[in-house]
Structure 1
């Protein structure tokens, strides 16, 4: 095999999502499409939702590479939205099949990993307790996730660049402003 098994299963699932929803795809469908045994699938994933999560993690990791500081976080967020749009069927079917909470939790984990380092960087030279820095990152992560979920809910029609610009405009300077309020 030229591709690793996980990538092969991911491609198969994405292809099937062009034709039907996630809740109508089985492990049997995927392994038959790939020409492998069910055991091969279960060696890598516990179920289809585990495969979906792996795809989301792989896509977001690639999108966020090197975009975790004050100057590049917007670009990282834009990349996440672009990857979501590139995988529109997967995202929309996950949103509709898995539940909104699953997608929200996943997006939160991803975006918190982008936002917290930015808050840490902005806190340099300020005496701010860790719990306050975590809360600031938590607050903004929830806000950004809500914007992203609304974008998914409405069919992902708006350009990712436009959403990232709007979010960046709203939060520009807010991290440092909030940190200064918590500084001792």
Structure 2
């Protein structure tokens, strides 16, 4: 692991520590650097501001790992992995998503929309849907999944990650069956 990556991770861990004691919007760069023992110049060498740091954490600790080999066959397992990672650091995610929900939600939305686009394309075997219709439908399902996850966080992550991913998979299967029934009715 490079020295730069080690430093970035140390700064990220420091932010997580500070988030246990302070709301994200009240955290300063000085708070973060005091915890990791680095100076402000080092922080700014790696990150423009705390928002870029937050985005780096969300992407590198969650989305890069699960997006790497996500597929239609394993997406619910990847969602379970994401939710489990989040629950392990519950204070951090509840704190930062409450203050900066758009950053996390935008990553989640882009990943799930791409996955739903792929699923809709596979289900539309006869190519009856236009690109705009597939894009609209994928956006609809992505917003739904994002909404469920964002509500789960805002409500304190009370439901276990396994149960959330199981329910999401169940909804997806129901939607797939409806799509299949509709396509058979059109024959």
SS at match of 2:38: coil
- 1:70-89 alignment runs, 5 A limit: 71-89=73-91
- Moved beyond 4 Å, runs of 4+: 178-181
In 1, the alpha carbon distance for the partners of 2:137 and 2:5 equals 41
In 1, the alpha carbon distance for the partners of 2:103 and 2:69 equals 26
In 2, the alpha carbon distance for the partners of 1:64 and 1:36 equals 32
Query: Relative to structure 2, which stretch is displaced further, 123-132 or 60-69?
Result: 123-132
* Cα deviation code 1:81-124 (max 9, x no counterpart): 122212212211112222x4444334322322433333334345
**Cα distance, 1:173 vs structure 2:** 5.0
Instruction: Judging by fraction of residues, say which structure has more helix.
Output: 2
In 2, the alpha carbon distance for the partners of 1:2 and 1:50 equals 16
Change over 3 Å in CA distance of 1:110–1:87 after alignment to 2: farther
- 1:31-180 alignment runs, 5 A limit: 31-58=33-60, 59-69=62-72, 71-98=73-100, 100-124=101-125, 126-175=127-176, 177=179, 180=183
> TM-score if structure 1 supplies the norm length?
0.83
Task: Tell me, yes or no, if structure 1 residue 24 matches structure 2 residue 13.
Answer: no
Asked if structure 1 preserves the Cα contact closer than 8 Å seen for 2:86 and 2:93, the reply is: yes
Asked if structure 2 preserves the Cα contact closer than 8 Å seen for 1:92 and 1:152, the reply is: yes
Change over 3 Å in CA distance of 1:106–1:66 after alignment to 2: closer
- Count how many residue pairs are aligned between Structure 1 and Structure 2: 180
In 1, the alpha carbon distance for the partners of 2:122 and 2:8 equals 35
Change over 3 Å in CA distance of 1:180–1:128 after alignment to 2: farther
In 1, the alpha carbon distance for the partners of 2:78 and 2:96 equals 22
Asked if structure 2 preserves the Cα contact closer than 8 Å seen for 1:64 and 1:80, the reply is: no
Unmatched runs of 5 consecutive residues or more in structure 1: none
> TM-score if structure 2 supplies the norm length?
0.82
Change over 3 Å in CA distance of 1:79–1:125 after alignment to 2: farther
Asked if structure 2 preserves the Cα contact closer than 8 Å seen for 1:74 and 1:164, the reply is: yes
